[in-house]
């Protein structure tokens, strides 16, 4: 009796787990380990030449590849500027939306709309606005009383990247606002009531209650946005394709150009490994930061 039941259990377990396990293994685990293996070969997508083991030559080449470092540098700049700005904006928005005002839900909906709009579409619409005759140039002109000189934002190597940053903040802030909002709603109201009795003003309440209580949420938002900054691709591909003069070139665009356009799978795999190690380091940092706070 017992063995029959156990057998049945076992069978059921296999049926539940197997389809997912097979897919995860073939399409995530296998390619993940393949990237390590392929990074030591000269593999190409279509090639009549046999694949050869070439040791660490791909890595040597990668560390001498100026374009890779240009991309990495741009990703870092993007993260350094976009992450703090977007996080602050999102926190501010969450606090406004968290106020007990009539109709606040409608506004929350409005702020979230860019997030549900596909990045390719967002890029196209903003390209229209960044036109030399477009609305942004005109707006700048009217607020500077005509002092503003028309700029072709996306074709100007000084302005292209900041333009993409602004657009990315616009697209992503609504999402983080919701995460902050969830965090705000978990703060016990008691804390604020006690502070008011003690005579603490709004600013002190924010500094001594809201911010410390939101530490985990903030850490999560900061780190997940940093990782998203490293993955920057869609808007770059659509708006500038890395130009002008590589001012918007990114690591993933380089990965795409090497692995897909030039079909150098081995070389792109080496880049994949380095990219993953960077992401891993940031993720581990996140776990450490969050753990320490939980213990406190």
Partner 1 sequence: MTTQRSLKRVKIIDKTVGYILLILLALFFLFPLVYMITTSLNPNERDIVSKMGSIEAFIPTEVSLKNYFGDPNAEDPNLTANKGVTGRMNFGRFMFNSVFIVTCTVLGGLLINSMLAFGLARFNFKGRVFFVSMIVALMIIPFEAIAIPLLWLVNSLGWMDSYQVQIIPFMANPFYIFLFYQFFIQFPKALEEAALIDGAGWFKIYWKVALPLSKPIMASVAILHFLMQWGFFLWPLMVTRGEEFRPLPVAMQQFFGQYPRDWGDIMAFASMMTIPVLILFIILQGQFVNSAKSSGIK
Considering only residues 210-269, where is the footprint of partner 1 by CB under 8 A? 217, 220-221, 224, 227, 230-231, 233-234, 237-238, 252, 255-256, 259-260, 265, 268-269
Contact with partner 1 (CB under 8 A) among 61, 69, 77, 138: 138
Per rule CB under 8 A, is residue 29 in the interface with partner 1? yes
Q: How far is the CB of 271 from partner 1 (least distance, A)?
A: 8
Going by C-alpha positions, the residue among 244, 292, 258 that lies closest to residue 43 is: 258
Residue 41 pairs in a beta bridge with: 53
Peptide bond into 189 cis (omega under 30): no
User: How many positions of this chain bind partner 1 (CB under 8 A)?
Assistant: 92
Of 72-80, 135-143, 188-196, 207-215: span binding partner 1 (CB under 8 A): 135-143
| SS3 per residue for 209-277 | HHHHHCHHHHHHHHHHHHHHHHCCCHHHHHHCCCCCCCCCCCHHHHHHHHHHHCCCHHHHHHHHHHHHH
The footprint of partner 1 on residues 75-134 (CB under 8 A) is: 93, 96-97, 99, 101, 104, 107-122, 124-129, 131, 133-134
Q: In this structure, what DSSP letter does residue 161 have?
A: H
Residue closer to partner 1, measured from CB, 248 or 272: 272
Residue closer to partner 1, measured from CB, 64 or 102: 102
Going by C-alpha positions, the residue among 42, 27, 29, 37 that lies closest to residue 265 is: 42
Contact 283, 227 (CB under 8 A): yes
Angle between helices 66-97 and 160-185 (to 10 degrees): 40
The footprint of partner 1 on residues 184-213 (CB under 8 A) is: none
Q: How far is CA 16 from the centre of its chain?
A: 33
Residue closer to partner 1, measured from CB, 160 or 230: 230
Left if phi > 0, otherwise alpha if psi is -120 to 50, otherwise beta: which for 42? Answer: alpha
The full DSSP string for 91-147 is HHHHHHHTS--TTHHHHHHHHHHHHHS-HHHHHHHHHHHTSTTSHHHHHHHHHTTT-
Of 71-79, 156-164, 169-177, 189-197: span binding partner 1 (CB under 8 A): 169-177
Q: How far is the CB of 216 from partner 1 (least distance, A)?
A: 10
Per rule CB under 8 A, is residue 174 in the interface with partner 1? yes
Residue closer to partner 1, measured from CB, 196 or 207: 196
Q: How far is the CB of 27 from partner 1 (least distance, A)?
A: 4
Contact with partner 1 (CB under 8 A) among 194, 280, 285, 288: 280
Per rule CB under 8 A, is residue 71 in the interface with partner 1? no
Structure tokens at 221: 């938002």
Q: How far is the CB of 135 from partner 1 (least distance, A)?
A: 5
Residue closer to partner 1, measured from CB, 135 or 194: 135
């Amino acid at each position: 009796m017992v063995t029959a039941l156990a057998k049945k259990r076992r069978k059921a377990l296999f049926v539940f787990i197997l389809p997912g396990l097979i897919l995860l293994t073939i399409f995530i685990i296998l390619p993940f380990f393949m990237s390590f293996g392929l990074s030591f070969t000269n593999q190409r997508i279509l090639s009549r030449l046999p694949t050869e083991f070439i040791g660490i030559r791909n890595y040597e080449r990668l560390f001498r590849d100026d374009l890779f470092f240009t991309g990495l540098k741009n990703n870092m700049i993007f993260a350094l500027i976009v992450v703090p700005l977007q996080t602050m904006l999102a926190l501010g928005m969450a606090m406004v939306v968290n106020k007990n005002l009539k109709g606040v839900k409608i506004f929350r909906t409005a702020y979230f709309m860019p997030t549900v709009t596909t990045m390719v579409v967002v890029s196209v619409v903003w390209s229209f606005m960044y036109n030399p005759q477009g609305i942004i140039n005109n707006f700048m002109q009217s607020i500077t009383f005509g002092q503003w000189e028309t700029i072709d934002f996306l074709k100007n190597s000084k302005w292209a990247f900041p333009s993409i940053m602004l657009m990315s903040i616009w697209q992503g802030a609504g999402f983080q606002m919701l995460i902050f909002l969830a965090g705000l709603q978990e703060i016990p109201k008691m804390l604020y009531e006690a502070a008011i009795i003690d005579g603490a003003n709004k600013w002190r309440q924010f500094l001594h209650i809201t911010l410390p209580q939101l530490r985990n949420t903030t850490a999560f938002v900061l780190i997940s946005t940093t990782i998203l900054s490293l993955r920057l691709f869609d808007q770059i591909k659509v708006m500038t394709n890395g130009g002008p003069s590589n001012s918007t070139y990114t690591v993933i665009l380089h990965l795409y150009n090497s692995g897909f356009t030039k079909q150098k799978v081995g070389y792109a795999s080496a880049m994949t490994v380095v990219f993953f190690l960077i992401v891993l380091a940031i993720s581990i940092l996140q776990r450490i930061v969050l753990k320490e706070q939980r213990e406190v």
